[in-house]
């Protein structure tokens, strides 16, 4: 397996979406190719860091305000008939 082939399957590999055979081919490649090992490992870390980052959490007070605004508008729209898309 060449590095470019490895890279093509990287997303499926990280997502656990490969059959056993392709997976073991990839892992063979990882065992000797340091570059691909590092790319794979740091890509996984990239995903984990973003997943755990809690960027853009909705603050509770804003959340409450938005929800009541939504529900008020919803009940108003019911009175004024269906909305157009």
Partner 1 sequence: MSAIQPNVSEPISDELALVRAAKRGDDSAFEELVRRYDRNVFRIAQHITQNREDAEDVVQDAFLKAYGNLAQFQEQSKFYTWLVRIAVNEALMKLRRRRPERMVSLDEEVKTEDDSLPREVADWSPNPEQMYNQAELRDILTRTIQGLPAGFRTVFVLRDVEGLSTEETAQALELSIPAIKSRLLRARLQLRERLSRFFQKRASGDGNK
The residues, ordered by sequence, that sit 6+ positions from 35 with a Cβ below 8 Å of its Cβ are 3
Q: How many residues bind Zn ion (CB under 5 A)?
A: 3
Shortest Å distance, C-beta 28 to partner 1: 14
Shortest Å distance, C-beta 49 to partner 1: 6
Handedness of CA 9, 11, 13, 19 (dihedral sign): negative
CB 60 within 8 A of CB 47: no
| Rounded Cα gap, residues 10 and 69, in angstroms | 44
Q: Is 71 in the site for partner 1 (CB under 8 A)?
A: yes
Q: Is 51 in the site for partner 1 (CB under 8 A)?
A: yes
CB 40 within 8 A of CB 14: yes
* Interface residue list for Zn ion (CB under 5 A): 3, 33, 36
* Interface residue list for partner 1 (CB under 8 A): 3-4, 7-8, 10-12, 14-17, 35-36, 38-53, 55-58, 62-63, 66-67, 69-71, 73-75, 77-78, 82-85
């Amino acid at each position: 397996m060449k590095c470019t082939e490895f890279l093509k399957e990287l997303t499926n590999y990280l997502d656990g979406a490969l059959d056993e055979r392709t997976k073991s081919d990839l892992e063979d490649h990882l065992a000797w190719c340091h570059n691909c090992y590092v790319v794979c490992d740091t890509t996984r870390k990239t995903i984990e860091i973003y997943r755990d980052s809690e960027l853009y959490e909705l603050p509770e007070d804003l959340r409450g305000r938005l929800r009541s605004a939504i529900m008020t508008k919803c009940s108003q729209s019911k009175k004024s008939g269906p909305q157009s898309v």
